[in-house]
Structure 1
Amino acid sequence: MKNFFLNVIIGLFFLILIVKFSLAKLNDYTKHKSFIVVPNLIGMRVEDISDTISKLNLRYLIIDSGAYNPNYPRGSVLSQLPKHFSKVKSNRKLLLTINPNKVSLISIPDFTDKSKRQYISELSAKGFRIGKLIYVNDIHPNVVLGVNIDDEIINSNTKIEKSSILDLTLGNGNKQKINTPNFKGLKFINIKSQLFEESLNIGELIFDKSVVDTLESFVFKQFPTDDSINIDLGTEINLWFTEDSINLVNDSSIIIN
């Protein structure tokens, strides 16, 4: 009889432990799976979004004032990252670009005899953005030959709106060729600067079903592939993004057209 009661007590003890362990795991699982759907802030004034962001337990940071867009109120949100309807964790910081309250005119710096890297650095410091790299036949590779906005040539020292998107015309070193770098594993937020560093342009961006937070996604496939040789400067690179690290070793589910 004593052995019977002892076995019952031991059994109850282990049962309690199992229940506590299961509840703890369930709680961890629930926390891991919890997420917040990012609201659409486009067009909202910055002063009006604080309550919305706070109630959702999110944060925001204004990273830039975009080129003035007359279709939106001054001081309103023009773009956001992560995009609306993305699923993020609590306390996530949203990066916002706003419509400027005042249109600032900034002079285009002189590009004479300047390298691509040097000139992009100068433009970024002045608040301009780079659209694409246009390569033309010239003996000097990656030397800036001109600046364009929507195919219109812009001369040095011309005053244009801050945050304007500029395309750069560059020499191609008499049709110099390069090998395609490997961009796999590179995060979305870093891809544009890295492509420009390699004298390449952004092509099509494709996000698989695992991506709920654009900024946290990373490249798992590219075309041209990283074993491609002798591609032109300025070639557009198509990139596939995921948040599932298994795709870095197994990406056969994506077919390149």
Structure 2
Amino acid sequence: MSFFRFIKSKSFFIQVGIAVVGVLLFIFILQWWLGYTTNHDQKIQVPDLNRMSLVDVEAKLKELDLDFIVIDSASYNPNYPKRSVIEQSPEAGDFVKEKRKIYLTLNPSKYRDITIPDLNGRTKRQAMTQLQSIGFKVGEFSYVRDIGKDVVRGLKFNGRKLKPGEKLPKNAVIDMILGDGKGR
């Protein structure tokens, strides 16, 4: 039997018909199964979790059948309550399906601690610039007898003298002890 004769035969058309019907049936069954198993028509609107504590977040998401994961603690933001949600993904108002995980970024309980650099012997301007660049605030200046005018001779925090290498929270106000230029 030649190839062209087979293509014109009745059994060839029957086999092509069976193949087409089989593929279409497979596609329709697959589409129905995916719609059923993926909850295609289900939508849950993500609530706004901003400024909520983890206890409140857990209760709110549990009633909506959603989960959450804390992915990070951002830099401390004094405008938000401690350990509250700063960011969430997906955003509030987006639609998700049940058991979806909401990724949260929390506000830490305080500013992170920063190491005090050794500024002894630096000028007032150099020391102020370095302290401000790493996140401290410069407070008051006090002077001691010293040969160097406006040369750093120490740092204080809340009246206590600081040593290089100590740690203080970011945004702490540091007072500077400077030389008056009248010493020997």
Give the TM-score band, short-chain normalised.
Answer: 0.3 to 0.5
Structure having the higher Rg = 2
Higher relative contact order (CA 8 A, sep 6+): 2
What's the TM-score once normalised by structure 2's chain length? 0.43
